[in-house]
Amino acid sequence: MQSPWTSLSNLKSFAGHRHSVSVLAYGPQSSLIASGDTGGEIRIWDTKNANQEPLYRVLAGHTDEISMLKFNADSSRLLSASESDRTVRVWDVLAERELEMISSTSCKNLSWVPGQQRLILATGLLNPDSVGGVGFQTLTTVQFLGTEATTIGHSIDGKTRVTLDSQGNSENRDIAVWYPAAPHVVDAFGKGIELTALTADRSGALTATKDGSLALWDIQTGKETGRLVDRSLVIERTRFPRFTTLAISPDGKFAASATKDKHLQFWRLPDLPMPKGQLRRFDVYETVHVVNFSSDGKSVAAGCRTGIKYRNLDEKRVYTYEDVINVKQPVTALASTGDGHGYAFATGLPRSQSNFLAVQLLPRWRRNSFGRTIKKSQGHTDAITGVVLLDNDRQMLSGCRDGTLRFWSVDSGMELDAIDVDIPINSIARSPDGRRLLVAGDDSAVRVFDLETKVELAVLSGHSFLVQQVSWSPDGAYFISAGGDGSVRVWNAETLQTVHVLTGHEDRVNSARLTNYGRFAVTGGEDGTVRYWDVVARQEIAVFRGHTGPVLSIDVNTLGTRAVSGGLDRTIRVWSLDRAAWNSVGDRIEQEPTEEVP
């Protein structure tokens, strides 16, 4: 039986709003979508329910037209704004309850600050007396986060590589492609376009025209790739509908539209081509906090929201039970054992004493179907963000948001020693010779410790904001730091001086690795990109676009020929560094799309 969500024709069309729908917004997981109308009502729809009306929740409170909607990372909270009633509101989606209401004289764009549930970034002017406990930051100029837009037409900020907008006030509007270095339109295509919505990876667009046509476009080529037809509206009304707003899901698989007659339409989009440079993609259906290549480079381990998932890169099968270790807590740190037979891992529940460390054998080395987990180690009071193995895998060292480094016995699980760093720790990295430890934290510094004496050797400054991750080059001659300030710094391990600074990410950098004796680097950031760098030339070799949300972790295999990334879009992606390494600096990788694995 064919799924009702497989046709390019209209999947479902629903009425429910009493006023025209003015804005649509998908949740990060692409199943929930919020719609706001000109009367101030918000409705939440669950699009997974294809066989009946998918109305999920109704949120009432605004008194005039809704101008913006934004889900938080897990879709449990919704942020709404109305320029007409001059309020910004925070909602508990499940309870259908308003949590906060803040008066605002002007609000053009809103976004949840990544990784935080209660902090909200707002563009426009807010009344400081009404902010209360929500924790707003006010900006006097428009600032863009990720791929969201502020103007009708869903344009992207000029700091990104492509800007999409609807130009002019006549019926002959088209799609205009802009580049940041050029103050003029360099490409234009389409006719009579009224509305546009952009895919999260910025490779495609959905447009609506005044005559009721919905079209899909490839932004790179300027070619139309498909049309969506709402046959029920055409047949019943003998005329085409007038669209009021459009939205595309973060995973690029679905779209939603609204028409002036108060109807909503949900669509299944055709599969997008594999991003250039991407070798494999695995959907794991959970946020991926950390990824790690096995020592032989033939498999990948991913620390996810509920445990660890393994994938053999040479196989095409879906996960079996043996490929999953259910920890029932988010796994936020991984370290491969010296023999390559297993991983040390740690969990990362915020402000919790239930977090622990353990060592787990890989599936092929397990003694039974449940595997062998060596004794758990507990004692930290916050999320554990780093773990390394010491003394031929007889000891573990952990770094934690509680500001401590702790040494543990692998066999007994007992704590052996501790170092109080006094700052929340985001990352730790042991040098290849096992003599030194790097520590990155919230104070924008990189700390260097002697692992034998447990003495702090140096505190290195350079970043202007917190440091997200540190790691060593394979030969130990250099190390790299990924900054919340959007920069990446490469350090000489002997002189402890910065030798190169790499800039290009449009938001904070979450992860960074060095390859080939420090000659090349791979980074992943909040902007959803994985970037490959020539460190000496301080230039990008390639920008890999495919993730539809922030990239939280990357790793590179021992040979430096492949990179793996994972992030908030709940996917693991493997990228080829082979051809990029031989391209001239600044060239973009041109590779044929390859396979996609569920």
Asked if residue 134 is part of any domain, the answer here is yes
Asked if residue 86 is part of any domain, the answer here is yes
What is the side-by-side strand order in the sheet with 163-166?
A: 163-166, 175-178, 187-189
Token output for 286: 């959970």
For residue 9, how many other CB atoms are within 10 A of its CB? 13
- What pLDDT is stored for residue 447 in this prediction? 97
- What pLDDT is stored for residue 569 in this prediction? 83
Backbone angles phi, psi at 54, to 5 degrees: -90, 25
- DSSP percent split of the chain into helix, strand, coil, nearest 5: 5, 50, 50
Domain of 75, in residue numbers: 12-143
Question: Domain of 93: which CATH number?
Answer: 2.130.10.10
CB 177 within 8 A of CB 162: yes
Alpha carbons 439 and 457: distance in angstroms, whole number: 11
- What pLDDT is stored for residue 9 in this prediction? 42
- What pLDDT is stored for residue 52 in this prediction? 59
**C-beta pairs of 94-102 under 8 Å, 24+ apart in sequence:** 94/57, 96/57, 96/58, 96/59, 98/59, 98/61, 100/132, 100/133, 100/134, 101/61, 101/130, 102/126, 102/127, 102/130, 102/131, 102/132, 102/134, 102/136
Residue of 510, 516, 485 whose CA lies nearest to 565: 510
Residue of 548, 563, 352 whose CA lies nearest to 471: 563
Is 418 exposed, middle or buried (CB count within 10 Å of its CB: 0-12, 13-18, 19+)?
middle
CA angle 254, 260, 266 (to 5 degrees): 15
- What pLDDT is stored for residue 373 in this prediction? 54
Asked if residue 34 is part of any domain, the answer here is yes
For residue 282, how many other CB atoms are within 10 A of its CB? 22
Alpha-carbon torsion, ordered 468, 469, 470, 471, to 10 deg = -160
Asked if residue 35 is part of any domain, the answer here is yes
- What pLDDT is stored for residue 123 in this prediction? 41
Asked if residue 59 is part of any domain, the answer here is yes
Asked if residue 528 is part of any domain, the answer here is no
Q: Which residue type sits at 144?
A: F
pTM above 0.85, yes or no: no
- What pLDDT is stored for residue 130 in this prediction? 38
Q: How many domains does the chain have?
A: 1
Backbone angles phi, psi at 241, to 5 degrees: -80, 160
- CA dihedral over 101, 106, 111, 112, signed as positive or negative: negative
Helix (H, G, I), strand (E, B) or coil at 332: strand
CB 489 within 8 A of CB 448: no
Asked if residue 365 is part of any domain, the answer here is no
User: For every one of its 598 residues, what pLDDT tens digit does the chain have, with 9 covering 90 and above?
Assistant: 233 333 344 556 677 788 999 999 998 777 789 999 999 999 998 877 655 567 788 999 999 999 889 888 778 888 898 988 888 888 999 899 998 887 776 665 565 644 444 444 444 444 444 333 333 333 322 222 222 222 222 222 322 222 233 333 223 334 444 433 333 343 455 667 778 887 776 677 888 877 777 888 877 677 777 777 655 544 344 455 688 889 988 878 888 888 888 888 888 887 766 778 888 888 888 889 999 998 888 889 999 988 898 888 865 554 443 467 788 899 999 998 887 778 899 999 998 999 999 988 765 555 443 344 557 889 999 999 999 999 888 999 999 999 999 999 998 899 999 999 999 999 999 999 999 999 999 999 999 999 999 999 999 999 998 999 999 999 999 999 999 999 999 999 999 999 999 999 988 999 999 987 888 999 999 988 999 999 988 889 999 988 888 899 999 998 899 999 999 888 899 999 975 444 433 333 333 333 443 3
Helix (H, G, I), strand (E, B) or coil at 92: strand
Chain centre distance of CA 413: 34
CB 485 within 8 A of CB 508: yes
Asked if residue 366 is part of any domain, the answer here is no
